[in-house]
């Protein structure tokens, strides 16, 4: 299994690295530590270099490489696991662009990254980096809240409107995480009954989930964020999973609204799976 771990060398990103190490402790993994950097001069991107800018670039590059080496040593001391191999990638690039390139080159199974809430906010708000990654990266992304203490995901919440034509490869990231776990599939029903297409999609979902433990839940005519928040508490959920499918409620819920209008508390890890 190949896991990409972006880091800015903060304790927040270390927390997500620690989470990934414990989540995949029984798996043979290669962890790719990634740090990206850019050089901005007076508000403009680094373009034609002069000697002082070249020296500054070398300083930034050295700081990135040294920072990755320190994180690798910290993993070796605090999180040693003979099943885990750590590689380092320092790149002069944007985070999302480099993630796409690494995903293509190494066949990344998961990206695990920290997401820090706004100070004093009652709801966890995604930072701009996390939102960019969730929007653009074609790979499952596991966002770990700041200061979240590791818990093996025993109860997983998977909200769905059943408007997705599910396939096994799309749902594999969920199945990979269900060792001694249960998936709670939540549907909010607005009409009197499901359409024929929704029924077909739900049946396909159940067929794919047949080898694992799962339960179906239906709530009628309820606000989707409120229903999710209710089930997070009621079932003691410790992993929320959604598929980012175009034209689904996921897109409406997260990316057509302002980030500070997200209607439920994301105090647990959140796995986002691209639709394709």
Residue 188 half-sphere exposure, CB side, CA atoms within 13 Å? 15
- Paired sense of beta strands 40-41 and 44-45, if any: antiparallel
Query: Does 206 lie in the same domain as 188?
Result: yes
Give the pLDDT score at 214.
95
Query: Does 193 lie in the same domain as 94?
Result: no
- On whether residue 110 sits in a domain, the answer given is yes
| Cα–Cα distance, 68 to 62 (Å, whole number) | 10
Query: Does 212 lie in the same domain as 175?
Result: yes
Cα distances (angstroms) measured from residue 90 to each of 8, 38, 98, 112: 11, 11, 10, 17
Give the pLDDT score at 122.
38
φ/ψ of 252, rounded to 5, equals -65, -40
Using pLDDT thresholds of 50, 70 and 90, give the confidence band for residue 118: very low
pLDDT tens digits for range 181-218: 999 999 988 777 899 999 999 999 999 999 999 999 99
Three-state helix/strand/coil letters over the chain: CEEEEECCCCHHHHHHHHHHHHHCCCCCEEEEEEEEECCEECCEECCCCCHHHHHHHHHHHHHHHHHHHHHHHHHHHHCCCCCEEEEEEEEECCHHHHHHHHHHHHCCCEEEEEECCCCCCCCCCCCHHHHHHHHHCCCCEEEEECCCCCCCCCEEEEECCCCCCCCHHHHHHHHHCCCCCEEEEEEEECCCCCCHHHHHHHHHHHHHCCCCEEEEEEEECCCHHHHHHHHHHHCCCCEEEEEECCCCHHHHHHCCCCHHHCCCCCCCCEEEEECC
Give the pLDDT score at 126.
55
CATH of residue 171's domain is: 3.40.50.620
Number of domains into which the chain is organized: 2
- On whether residue 214 sits in a domain, the answer given is yes
- On whether residue 270 sits in a domain, the answer given is no
Using pLDDT thresholds of 50, 70 and 90, give the confidence band for residue 47: low
Residue that finishes a domain, picked among 122, 145, 168 = 145
Using pLDDT thresholds of 50, 70 and 90, give the confidence band for residue 49: low
- On whether residue 121 sits in a domain, the answer given is yes
Query: Does 129 lie in the same domain as 6?
Result: yes
Average pLDDT along the chain: 83
pLDDT tens digits for range 214-251: 999 999 877 777 888 889 989 999 999 988 775 554 54
- On whether residue 274 sits in a domain, the answer given is no
Domain span including residue 127: 2-145
């Amino acid at each position: 299994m190949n896991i990409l771990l972006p880091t800015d060398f903060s304790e927040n990103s270390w927390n997500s690295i620690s989470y990934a190490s414990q989540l995949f402790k029984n798996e043979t993994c290669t962890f790719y530590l990634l740090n990206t950097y850019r050089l901005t001069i007076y508000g403009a991107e680094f373009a034609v270099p002069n000697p002082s800018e070249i020296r500054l670039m070398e300083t930034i590059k050295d700081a990135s490489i040294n920072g990755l080496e320190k994180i690798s040593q910290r993993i070796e001391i605090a999180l040693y696991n003979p099943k885990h191999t750590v590689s380092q990638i320092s790149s002069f690039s944007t985070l999302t662009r480099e993630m796409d390139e690494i995903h293509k080159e190494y066949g990344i199974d998961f990206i695990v990254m920290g997401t820090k809430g706004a100070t004093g906010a009652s709801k966890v708000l995604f930072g701009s980096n996390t939102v960019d990654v969730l929007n653009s990266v074609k790979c499952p992304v596991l966002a770990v809240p700041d200061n979240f203490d590791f818990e093996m995901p025993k109860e997983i919440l998977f909200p769905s409107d059943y408007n997705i034509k599910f396939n096994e490869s799309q749902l594999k990231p969920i199945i990979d995480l269900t060792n001694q776990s249960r998936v709670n599939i939540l549907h909010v029903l607005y009409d009197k009954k499901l359409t024929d297409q929704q029924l077909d999609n739900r049946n396909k979902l159940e067929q794919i989930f047949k080898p694992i433990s799962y339960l179906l839940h239906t709530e009628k005519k309820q606000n989707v964020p409120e229903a999710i928040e209710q089930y997070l508490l009621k079932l003691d959920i410790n992993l929320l999973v959604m598929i980012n499918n175009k034209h689904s409620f996921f897109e409406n819920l997260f990316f057509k609204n302002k980030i500070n209008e997200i209607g439920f508390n994301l105090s647990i890890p959140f796995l986002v799976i691209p639709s394709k």
